[in-house]
Amino acid sequence: MKVNINSVHFKTDKKLDSFITEKVEKLSDLYDGIIGSEVTLRVNNGEDHDNKIAEIRLLVPGNDLFAKKQSKSFEEATDIAVDALRKQLSKHKEKQRGE
């Protein structure tokens, strides 16, 4: 699966890229039909410490799956978003079987 990582107004390091790629690629173990994914990282300019936002869009046949999570680090936000997508994927698989 192709994992496309975009960062808004900053450059990610290789360690963060490989962490995100590894987490997102594990989702393909759950469902073979994932075509690819787009990850967008941004920093919310506010007073809050939980200002790191990770948005992940999974490209699957039919409707794309999407999760946007905010946390104090990109790693934590990615973890939470991947967990949310894991739940969405299992629901998506159930719908596929039900059709």
pLDDT at 47: 75
Task: Look at strands 36-43 and 2-7 and give their pairing.
Answer: parallel
pLDDT at 99 over 70: no
Find the helix packing angle between 14-25 and 74-98, rounded to 10°.
20
Position 15, amino acid: K
pTM over 0.85: yes
| Fold classification of 2-98 (topology level) | Double Stranded RNA Binding Domain (3.30.160)
Q: What is the pLDDT of residues 35-69, one digit of tens each?
A: 999 999 999 987 788 999 999 999 998 889 999 99
